[in-house]
Amino acid sequence: MARERVGQSVKDHMDYAYDMDIAVKPTVTVPVLGEPYGYYTGSGNILFSTGWGIIRSVLGDILTRFHARRGYKVVETPILARTTLYKVSGHLDYYRDNMYIFNVKSEASEEGVEEFALKPMNCPYHILILMNLLEKYRGKVKFPFKIFELGKVHRYELSGTLRGLLRVRGFTQDDAHIFTPKEGAVNSIVEVFRELRDLYEKLFHIKVRSSTIRLRLSFSEPSEVGREYMGTLEQWREAEETIAKAAETIKREFGIEYFIGRGEAAFYGPKIDVVALVAGEEREWQIGTMQFDFNLPKRFGLEGMVRDIYGPDFEIYMIHRALLGSLERFLGVYLEMFRGRLPFVLAPLQAALLPIKTGTPRDDDILALTRHIASHLDSLGIRYSVVETTRTGIGGTIRRLETTFKPPLTVVIGSEEVEKGFVSVRLYDYEAMKPRSLRVPTPDGDLSGLESIIDTLEKPVEDLVGYKPRLPVELDYIS
Ligand SMILES: [Zn+2]
């Protein structure tokens, strides 16, 4: 398949995102004001548009339900905190350069100011929530304890490293923390990988195979333990062994290969990063991650608290994990992998209805059938747009839609269709990565054929979360 181009160059994810009203390109000039959008937002702070509103909302619901059904507790924590919280967690010592820290005038404090930080990670708040539940319900809190948040975090990344949606300064994580006794750690990691596979395959049509996905075991640089990496050599060795054991199990069970990345660990522990090979790109992009942490529970005193309640042998481990990682980056990688083609349930424009006007009385029937289909899509909650065209204009109309909004479903309604009782459908085939054409009968205006195509597109996701993810938003300015 030929790659799409803008002018002389191949389209990248920001081109796709801009064409679909997902994000505004920071280099485009704001009308009237005269400076580029990025001038007002700041670098790496993406101005998302109406397409993202749909994606974020539908995906957010899917992820929330997905996790709740798999035993995660769902929370939402503040976007900022006093820096005292990050003093306890260690972020101030190890992560300060990546944090947005600022003072706020405060008449309540002796110094007259209070220091705050935008949340760079959700973990400290999740620990506080668990500590409160443990105190209130003592031994009734069961382990592994899993807590999930679609958490918006901000991290100051160097300007030179910023790139479109792939590296930004403010992003949303599908973040969860699993608190498990030491002996359950390997199982928990393998379970997370299974969740990741289900989500990737059923929602995103990404085959979790060794040809597209690899695991990077991000380990410490032993000479830097105690400096760049928090903890002792013994703790790191033990944690890295657990990670390696989990990776071996994943390799056996799912056939996914792994490799070791020395010096790639987080400051609080080693991790397994899920990396995707983007077609046509040299480098691999990190998407999901599972990180092992023996530091945070200790720093918050959670370790001792758990021993008090559950007995002196209870050794608690904490796993940080994200299946998609940053939703923004995942979307960017996805747009490049699938050349702008989003899964049906997430596509801002799911269906385009193209009545072909003839300039004859036949047009009444054509428009009547179009209205009938439109009102049926309304009743289902499918996002669609009606784009009137002509026999000579249809090629151009389809091309325009295919290079901008890329609706997975295009329904053509012309005079032959009306006469013979069918509609011509162009349906994007995610397996073959190209559209295919089919005739769908509409006897006496019966739209069950069309509806069953939509059902087929939604079915895997419905299996995953137990409902049809639909969010009708009118995109009336597209036509
Ligand atoms: Zn975390």
pLDDT at 447: 97
Q: How far is the CA of 117 from the centre of ligand 1 (A)?
A: 16
Query: What phi and psi values does residue 149 have, to the nearest 5 degrees?
Result: -150, 135
Does the annotation count 67 as an active-site position?
Answer: no
Token couple for 138: 């003592």
Residue 13 annotated as catalytic: no
Question: CB-based contacts of 297: which residues, under 8 Å, 6+ apart?
Answer: 127, 179, 303, 306, 316, 317, 318
Using the mean position of ligand 1's atoms as its centre, give its distance from the Cα of residue 175 in Å: 7
Distance 196 CA to ligand 1 centre (A): 17
Chain Cα centroid distance, residue 455: 23
Known active-site residue 123: yes
**Vertex 262, ends 260 and 266: CA angle to 5°?**
105
pLDDT at 2 (0 to 100)? 58
The CA 67 to ligand 1 mean position distance, Å, reads 16
Greatest Cα pair distance, the chain, in angstroms, is: 85
Active site residue 209: no
Cα angle 22, 273, 56; round to 5: 20
Active-site residue among 13, 119, 155, 383? 155
Distance (angstroms) between ligand 1 centre and the Cα of 268 equals 10
pTM confidence score: 0.94
Taking Cα atoms as reference points, which of 378, 377, 373, 401 lies closest to residue 389? Answer: 401
271 is catalytic: yes
Q: Choose, from 15, 175, 273, 293, the residue flagged as catalytic.
A: 175
Q: What is the pLDDT of residues 97-120, one digit of tens each?
A: 999 999 999 888 888 999 999 999
The answer to whether residue 91 is catalytic is: no
Residue 62: its pLDDT value, please? 98
Instruction: Calculate how far, in angstroms, residue 147's C-alpha sits from the geometric centre of ligand 1.
Output: 10
How confident is the model at residue 212, as a pLDDT?
83
Distance 437 CA to ligand 1 centre (A): 46
Look at residue 337 in the predicted model and tell me its pLDDT: 84
Mean pLDDT, the chain cut into blocks of 10 residues (479 residues total): 72 95 96 96 95 98 98 98 95 90 90 94 97 96 97 92 90 97 93 95 91 91 87 90 94 94 89 80 77 90 96 94 94 90 97 96 95 97 97 96 96 96 95 92 95 96 96 88
Query: Domains of the chain by range and CATH?
Result: 5-79+119-337 (3.30.930.10), 351-465 (3.40.50.800)
Catalytic site residue 339? no
CA distance 333 to 312: 46
